[in-house]
Amino acid sequence: MSSETQQILTTDGIPLSVSLKKAERKNKIKAFLLVVPLLLFLIITYILPIGDMFMRSIDDKMVTNMLPKTFTAMEKWDGKEMPPEEVFAGFYSDFKILVQNKEHGKLAQRLNKEKNGFNSIIKKLFRQVQRNKIDEGQSIKEQIMKVHKRWRDVEYWQAIKRTAPPYTTAKYLKGMDMYYGPDGNIMQVEEDRRIHRILWLRTLEIAFFVTLFSFLMGYPIAHLLATLPMKYSNLLMICVLLPFWTSLLVRTASWMILLQQQGIVNDFFVMIGLVADDNRPEMMYNKVGTYVAMTQILLPFMVLPLYSVMKTISPSLMRAGKSLGGTPFIAFWKIYFPLTIPGIGAGCLLVFILAIGYYITPALVGGASGTLISNQIAYHMKTTLDWSFASAMGLMLLTGVLVVYWVYNKLVGVDNIKLG
Amino acid sequence: MSKNQEFVKFDKVDKSYDGKVLVVKDLNLDIAEGEFITMLGPSGSGKTTCLMMLAGFETPTNGEIYLDANPISNIPPHKRGIGMVFQNYALFPHMTVYENLAFPLKVRKISKDDIDKKVDKALSMVSLSGFENRMPAQLSGGQQQRVAVARALVFDPAVVLMDEPLGALDKNLRESMQYEIKHIHESIGVTVIYVTHDQSEALTMSNRIAVFNDGKVQQLSSPDKLYEEPVNSFVAEFIGENNTFGGEVVDLSNGSCKVKLSHGEILANPISVKSKGERTTVSIRPERALINPENKMDNNHAGTIEEVIYHGDHTRVRLNLLGNSEFILKVPNSSKNLDIKLGNKINIGWNSQDARALDPK
């Protein structure tokens, strides 16, 4: 077969495939040049920042760079007994340079994160070094061990050794409420301090229910949009899109007005006698507020893909189903519904992925029990300035989204997605 | 066993969508059991609306439709047991051919074995055995069409409706499908109500044709009668080719009338003219007018040839005759070499029996 195709020549005697390539080359180059700006844009604004985020999240070079001689000497240390004289000597010469550059404070801060108690003993050592109390002629090990009893504790040296590798996955463990124990194995934080796991689960839960609610509400709307006569469907389409065109903040703020305890919704409930005036339910600064506002805001992302798929389903299919003897329900369930699955998939995926990383709305109406992981990321970006932790959690979120996408692909097939 | 002559009965059916315009006006139509009846008409003439009312997708604004003597207006479509073939086939794209055909059987809770048998039989009827596992998108237009026909017949409905089922096929395929559908109808004897705007399709396939225009049945008769004996000028115009003369009746006697045209007079067969002085349109089929007739005919006029078009088996000749420059003749090519050349003057003759004086246009 292939030898046959190779033998096909053009009238000039050039093999056909060569001739074809030549003819296509110009177009290929043109097409490539057209996408180059977009490609560069994607690399600069997307690939590079994610790469940077990743490096930041695993970066742990600071101590590695501060204590080079210590770590070289520590290579021979088994990490069980007190370290030998060479380690102390190396540490002392590294520390002297740090003192000269006034960087010992940073070291104290970083090591204190690794193990509590470093702050004070490094300050003590600093004072001794500043006053030139350490005699380089004698055993440095003995002298440092005299500065504070913690310098005689092997656990503190183990902690220093743990900071030796330039990269660490500690931030990722922290995002899952875990940490490296003294002997390097992974430990769980105490149960009452496991805030991140709660946030992850809550994020998934809220994203799932927001997706479910917008599906339940969006499906009939999209169906109406696709089947109503033009003049009504246009009006309905504007009703769907109008909130979409309104600023996110304005919409969230209006939900705050509607949902607060003295707000319109509560007033209405009191008016129709659903709740007592002195017992108005809290619908904001909790999950309810997050559900309501996010569902409303994300609804168009469900409606539009559904609509675009439903629009292509010929009404004669339902008629055929009915004329063949299917009840309206069977015709819907066996014929219409399966044909809308690509739209359902696209809508659900879109809403779920948007919901999982939603930030402003839960920050404003979520209160303490309605905030999501993204709010935690923002908190570390802006308040604690722990960017590497924020990066780690951001990447974990991204991984989560990719996993969702993968599962979806396994279940429905990405080829079946129709975004419009 | 005598067949029910009123198996499907439209009784004074009116239909309006907007309350202002009647799409179907006072429709009375009886369809016999086992008949192949075609509703023929231009688009917007109400024929599809009639079909939709019968299928149950539209409700009559007034009047009643009976199926085997039972009024069906209040029966939902899925309980009517009427098979339907749609214009664009309406095969379920997410189901295989087998599943498409099994759908009407499954909803009727028929056992798996019987479903297999019936699907097999239906597929072999449309000569598509072996295509069970194909998806509709993997079939050609003609094959999809046949699956649609098989699906409409597989649950043994008493009536099958077909809404321009061949409209999307190319000419050759359309013709072979026409015969195929006709043969299926003959072999299983189901009542078929067929909608089309293609007159040749209607003439080929039907026992009877109902010509629709303007929401009304203009004529209901067998194909030959429809062609040979149109009752009004719309039917004459719509079915086949037709030469017309507009004029005024000046004499009416002994089953024949004299019509005065702008240039000259002709004799015609009075179909819908009742008295002298009426306006009328006289219709003559092209093949009924002869060149230089050997036998004496009671209409004989000279005309000038204005256009000659070669059509293979015949030649179309356009003449200017009695002030009508659109007078068409069809001359079989096997006939003796006549002097058909542009600009020649020739004699044309026809019998007054074939010139039908109908309602004025």
Interval B40-95: pLDDT, tens: 988 888 888 888 999 988 888 988 999 888 898 888 988 888 999 988 889 999 99
**pLDDT score of B3 more than 80:** no
Average pLDDT, integer, range B320-337: 78
Instruction: With cut-offs at 50, 70 and 90, classify the pLDDT of residue A173.
Output: confident
SS3 label, residue B284: strand
B148: closest chain A residue by CA = A320
What is the structure's pLDDT at A418? 58
What is the structure's pLDDT at A7? 64
Token output for A371:
């905030």
Cα–Cα nearest to B136, from A320, A325, A408: A320
Instruction: With cut-offs at 50, 70 and 90, classify the pLDDT of residue B309.
Output: confident
Instruction: With cut-offs at 50, 70 and 90, classify the pLDDT of residue A2.
Output: very low
Mutate to test the interface with B, among A323, A330, A340, A418 (most CBs of B within 10 A): A323
Distant-in-sequence, close-in-space partners of A348: CB < 8 Å, separation ≥ 6: A211, A215, A302
Amino acid symbol at B301: H
Place of tokens 């809220």: A206
In chain B, the percentage of residues whose pLDDT exceeds 70 is 98
Chain B residues with CB under 8 Å of A328 CB are 76, 78
Cα–Cα nearest to A361, from A264, A274, A294: A294
**pLDDT score of A417 more than 70:** no
Find the radius of gyration of the CA atoms of chain B: 24
Cβ atoms within 10 Å of A108's Cβ, excluding its own: 19
Distant-in-sequence, close-in-space partners of A36: CB < 8 Å, separation ≥ 6: none
Chain B residues with CB under 8 Å of A320 CB are 84, 86, 90-92
A420 against B308, higher pLDDT: B308
Place of tokens 């719509």: B238
What are chain B's domains? 8-232 (3.40.50.300), 241-358 (2.40.50.140)
Least confident among A335-344, A352-361, B263-272: B263-272
How distant, in Å, are the alpha carbons of A308, B124, B191, B206, B235 from that of B186? 44, 16, 10, 11, 27
Least confident among A26-35, B130-139, B153-162, B333-342: B333-342
SS3 label, residue B344: coil
A95 against A412, higher pLDDT: A95
Distant-in-sequence, close-in-space partners of B101: CB < 8 Å, separation ≥ 6: B118, B119, B122, B123, B147, B150, B151, B154
**pLDDT score of A345 more than 90:** no
Mean pLDDT of chain B: 86
What is the structure's pLDDT at A414? 65
pLDDT tens-digit series, residues A114-162? 888 888 888 888 888 888 888 888 888 888 888 888 888 888 888 888 8
Least confident among B113-117, B209-213, B262-266: B262-266
**pLDDT score of A3 more than 70:** no
Average pLDDT, integer, range A37-45: 93
How distant, in Å, are the alpha carbons of A91, A113, A130, A153, B315 from that of A149? 17, 19, 20, 7, 121
What is the structure's pLDDT at B288? 84
What is the structure's pLDDT at A229? 87
What are chain A's domains? 17-58 (no CATH), 61-165 (no CATH), 195-416 (1.10.3720.10)
CB B347 within 8 A of CB B338: no
Token output for B121:
């039989």
pLDDT tens-digit series, residues A210-269? 999 999 999 999 999 998 888 888 998 898 888 888 888 898 888 888 888 888 888 888
Chain A residues with CB under 8 Å of B107 CB are 324-327, 330
User: DSSP letter at B133?
Assistant: T
**C-alpha triplet A274, A277, A278: angle, nearest 5°:** 125
**pLDDT score of B138 more than 50:** yes
Instruction: With cut-offs at 50, 70 and 90, classify the pLDDT of residue B36.
Output: very high
SS3 label, residue B304: strand
**Interchain contact, A322 vs B77, CB within 8 Å:** yes
Place of tokens 């799932």: A208
How distant, in Å, are the alpha carbons of B254, B275, B278, B320 from that of B249? 14, 7, 6, 22
Mutate to test the interface with A, among B67, B78, B95 (most CBs of A within 10 A): B78
Distance CA A64, CA A83 (A): 18
pLDDT tens-digit series, residues A295-328? 999 999 999 999 999 998 988 899 999 999 889 9
What is the structure's pLDDT at A6? 52
Instruction: With cut-offs at 50, 70 and 90, classify the pLDDT of residue A335.
Output: very high
Which of A317, A322, A334 has its CB closest to that of B78?
A: A322
Distance CA B292, CA B302 (A): 10
Token output for B82:
């009427």
Cα–Cα nearest to A160, from A151, A172, A147: A151
Average pLDDT, integer, range A7-35: 84
B93: closest chain A residue by CA = A339
A3 Cα distance to chain centroid: 52
The answer to whether residue A324 neighbours chain B at the CB level (below 8 Å) is yes
Distance CA A264, CA A262 (A): 7
**Interchain contact, A321 vs B84, CB within 8 Å:** no
CB A221 within 8 A of CB A241: no
Chain B residues with CB under 8 Å of A319 CB are 55, 57, 77, 84, 86, 90
**pLDDT score of B351 more than 70:** yes
Distance CA A258, CA A275 (A): 16
pTM of the model: 0.77
**Phi and psi angles of residue B234, each rounded to the nearest 5 degrees, phi first:** -65, -50
